[in-house]
Amino acid sequence: MGRDKKNKTSKHIKCDVQFDDNPQGVFRAGDTVSGTVEIQLDKPKKFRGIALRINGFAATSWNAKLTGTDAKNAKNNKKTHFNGREDYFGSITYFVGSDVGNPLEVLAGVYRYTFACEIPANAPSSKEGKYGHIRYVVKLSLERPWKYDHVFQMPFIVKSHADLSLAQERMLKPARAELVQSFYFGLTDPLIVTAGTPRTGYAPGEVIEVSIHVNNQSNVDVRSITVKFQRIDTFLSQVPIVKQYYEHTVMEERTIGRVAGRNDAVFEENILIGSTVPTDDERCKIIMTRYEVEIMVRPIRSRKKLLLTLPIVIGTVGLPKTLYPMEMLSKERAALGMDPTNPGILTGSPIPSESPPPYPDDAQPSTSRAFSADSLTDGPTAPSSDDVKEHEFEKGSEPYTPRDFDEND
C-alpha cells in the first residue's frame, strides 16, 4: 500500500488494504467498495485516532501566463497557477478514537477492520492526464496530535456506464463532412473531399468504417491524406479564473498515398476501437472527454492543411447487433484478425483496402502517437511540485505524460 511522502512513516507499522473478491480494485459506478484493512504494530503506539477515508474527486492543474485585465497591466503577463476541483463522494470512519479525542495506546499486534462505501451511479470514469485527473482513493491515517500522522493509501479504478442504445436514434445517425478548396487565389477548379462514417456511436471492440471520397478537379496533386482517430480531453480551471485547455491523444493514425490532379479516388479505412474511457461531458464539469476522426489533406506546393472532422461517441455498451448490416459485422471480425465467415478462425493478414490509392508506391506506413499543447507557444505547462500544494487524497500516484506531436510534420 502506498505511503504519503509528506507524512512520517515507521518501520514498526505495516498496513495493507484488500478489496473483497476484487484483487485488481476495479469497480463500476454504482458498485459498493468493500474490503479489509490490516494494521500490524510491532510495538505499542499512541494515536488520537485511526481513520479510514474513501474519496472520489477530479482535479485540474497547470501553469500559464495571465494577461493583465486593466490598461495599466495590459502588457504585463504574469505566470499563474490555474486549478480546479470537483468531489463526487467521501466517507470517513474512525476505527479507533476520534479527530478530537485524547491519545489512546494501541498495543502491539495485528488488527483487522472491515469497510464499505457505495460509489454513486453517476460517478465518472477514472482518468489520468498531464493537466488533470479523476481519482478514487482509500486512505488510512494513524493520527497523532503532537507528531506527523502515519498515512497509507490505496487507489482503485472506477468505470462509468454508457449504454448507446439509450440514445439509439442519435447513435445510428451517420457522420458526414465535406471540404471544397480552390488554389492560386481561386483560379483553379476545386478540390472536393467528402468523408463519413455509417453511424456515430461505437463501443470498444467495434470498427469505425471511414469512407473518403477525393474529387480533385484542380491541377494540384494531393500529397497525402492522414486519418486520425483521437481522444480530446478538455480541462477547466476554476481559480483564479475559468480557463480551458485541450489535450489530444491520437489512438490510431494512418496515412494514405497521393491523389493526382484531375483525378477521382475513393478510400476506406477500418479503425478498430481499443479499450478506452467512454465519451463524457456530463458526469464531470472540469474534465470532459470526446472523440473524433480527423482527416487532414495536404496538397502539393501549398502550405494549407485542409481538415475535416467527424464526431464519434464511444460507449461501454454498444448498439444491438441486429441493427448492423452483415457487411459491417464482417469488417469488424476482419479487423480483429478473425475469419469474416468464421469468428473462431484467425486470419494471417489484415483486411485489404477496397479501393487502392492511385499511387500505391508512395503509400506511407501507419503511425500512432499522442500530442499535447506543450508545443504551442505561450501554452500552459504542468506545475512543478514546488508550485502546487498536493491534496491529501492525491498523494502517491503519478499522472501519465503523453508524447508530443509536431503539427509541422
Q: Is residue 303 part of a domain?
A: yes
- Give SS3 for 171: helix
Q: Is the pLDDT of residue 387 over 70?
A: no
103, 138, 159 — which closes off a domain? 159
Question: Are 171 and 23 part of one and the same domain?
Answer: no
Looking at residue 303, its pLDDT comes to 76
Name the average pLDDT for the chain.
82
Q: What is the pTM of this model?
A: 0.77
Rounded CA gap, 214 and 207, in Å? 22
- Strand pairing partners for 2? 153
**List of residues 6+ apart from 384 with CB closer than 8 A:** none
Question: Are 221 and 243 part of one and the same domain?
Answer: yes
36-45, 53-62, 75-84, range with the lowest pLDDT? 75-84
Confidence of residue 146 (pLDDT cuts 50, 70, 90): confident
**CATH assignment of the domain containing 278:** 2.60.40.640
Q: Mean of the pLDDT values across residues 46-73?
A: 85
Question: Are 104 and 189 part of one and the same domain?
Answer: no
Amino acid at site 207: V
Q: Is the pLDDT of residue 351 over 50?
A: no
Question: Are 184 and 271 part of one and the same domain?
Answer: yes
Question: Are 102 and 211 part of one and the same domain?
Answer: no
Question: Are 184 and 321 part of one and the same domain?
Answer: yes
Q: Is residue 404 part of a domain?
A: no
Q: Is residue 80 part of a domain?
A: yes
Question: Are 152 and 172 part of one and the same domain?
Answer: no
Confidence of residue 324 (pLDDT cuts 50, 70, 90): low
Question: Are 229 and 324 part of one and the same domain?
Answer: yes
Question: Are 154 and 235 part of one and the same domain?
Answer: no
Number of domains forming the structure of the chain: 2
Question: Are 49 and 92 part of one and the same domain?
Answer: yes
140, 159, 178 — which closes off a domain? 159
Q: Mean of the pLDDT values across residues 263-273?
A: 95
Q: Is residue 400 part of a domain?
A: no
Q: Is residue 174 part of a domain?
A: yes
Q: Is residue 353 part of a domain?
A: no
Q: Is the pLDDT of residue 57 over 50?
A: yes
Confidence of residue 325 (pLDDT cuts 50, 70, 90): low
Q: Is residue 363 part of a domain?
A: no
Confidence of residue 333 (pLDDT cuts 50, 70, 90): low
Confidence of residue 99 (pLDDT cuts 50, 70, 90): confident
Confidence of residue 344 (pLDDT cuts 50, 70, 90): very low
Q: Mean of the pLDDT values across residues 350-360?
A: 34
Confidence of residue 380 (pLDDT cuts 50, 70, 90): low
Question: Are 138 and 264 part of one and the same domain?
Answer: no
Q: Mean of the pLDDT values across residues 152-164?
A: 96
Q: Is residue 141 part of a domain?
A: yes
Instruction: Give the distance, in angstroms, between the CA of residue 294 and the centroid of all CA atoms in the same chain.
Output: 17
Longest C-alpha distance within the chain, in Å? 89
Residue numbers of the domain that contains 114: 13-159
Question: Are 237 and 332 part of one and the same domain?
Answer: yes
Rounded CA gap, 330 and 319, in Å? 16
The Cα-based distances of 292 to 121, 202, 387 in angstroms read 27, 12, 34
281, 303, 336 — which closes off a domain? 336
Confidence of residue 74 (pLDDT cuts 50, 70, 90): low
78-92, 186-200, 298-312, range with the lowest pLDDT? 298-312
65-69, 154-158, 191-195, range with the lowest pLDDT? 65-69
Looking at residue 358, its pLDDT comes to 34
Q: Is the pLDDT of residue 100 over 70?
A: yes
Confidence of residue 113 (pLDDT cuts 50, 70, 90): very high
Q: Is the pLDDT of residue 208 over 80?
A: yes
Q: Is the pLDDT of residue 11 over 90?
A: no
**List of residues 6+ apart from 397 with CB closer than 8 A:** 2, 128, 133, 135, 137, 155
Q: Is the pLDDT of residue 268 over 50?
A: yes
Locus of grid cell 500530442: 371
